[in-house]
Amino acid sequence: MGMKDRLEQMRQRAQEAGKMVVDVGVDAVREKRDAATGYVTDRRDAAQAFAGEAKSALKEGDVEELLRRLPLPASPVAEHWQWSLGKLITAGNKPPLGTGLLLGLLDNFGTIDVGPEEVGFDGATAKWHKVRAVRTRSLDGILQKLSTDTFTESVEGLLPPVPGRGWVSEKATAAMFTIWAMVTDLAIRDPEAGRRQVVCEIEYKGWIRTKEAETGFFTGPVMALLPGLDAVLRAEAGRRGVVVEEAEETSIASAEARVAWLREKHAAIVAKREAAVQAIEEAPAEPAP
């Protein structure tokens, strides 16, 4: 199945992911009983199953399949849940030795956190009782913030020059451009999806002034591709009496201009992705740390 065929199934499959309640990466064994069937799911077994499925999906470069299988938090949220760029590029695979620090640095570049106590994006989290407002942005608005010219430099500037830097940088870049291609393709095929609003900003009270946790290169597109996760965040805000409002955006003049803009951005993203994948395939093995 080609990428376009897989993308046709993206929205329906992402909805299915919202029914899963396992927090990937949690080692403790916990149980969740289905009220209707009495079925008990072992959290560790489910996490291990996802890791095995993710390994197969990523081997084929099928990020869409990985997102489809990603377990999302239950609603209402009872436990902390996190998904990150680092988890995406290592899902189902053991990263090279010495890359732990580098992968940790990516958490400040691309992470979604949601739990019963706090919520946030890209390393900036806030206690729910300090959240003043949650803002949404359209898929088109998310795409307007993506820059193919500066992203690679941003990743490389984030990572120190230590062994494993090339592997992490190239894997992160290839994964990001794949996700970007998915959201631009979705926006081109479905104008309604392009206008759909998803949670992208959290305004909260800091020690001195009001602060904002805002989605970035990774978290914005992922929120657009996982409507089930967006629904969870909206529901949590509603339960706490937090206002959900639309962020201001620069609109595109006409439908024709929008399509032309999207196609140009999609072509640039696909070209960048192919270059990143080729760089990974041709890169010599790095010396062990």
The number of C-alpha atoms within 13 Å of 124 and in the hemisphere containing its C-beta is 19
Closest CA to 221 of 150, 155, 154, 141: 141
Q: Using one digit for the tens of pLDDT, what is the confidence trace for 158-178?
A: 888 888 888 888 888 888 888
Question: What pLDDT does residue 78 have?
Answer: 94
Closest CA to 171 of 245, 92, 289: 92
Instruction: Compute the radius of gyration of the chain from its Cα atoms.
Output: 19
* pTM for the predicted model, two decimal places: 0.74
Task: Report residue 76's pLDDT band, with 50, 70 and 90 as the boundaries.
Answer: very high
Question: What pLDDT does residue 98 have?
Answer: 82
Report the greatest alpha carbon distance in the chain.
54
pLDDT > 90? residue 73: yes
Q: Using one digit for the tens of pLDDT, what is the confidence trace for 228-259?
A: 999 999 999 999 999 999 877 666 767 788 88
Q: Is 240 helix (H, G, I), strand (E, B) or coil?
A: coil
Closest CA to 236 of 124, 120, 111: 120
> What token pair was written down for 104?
């940790």
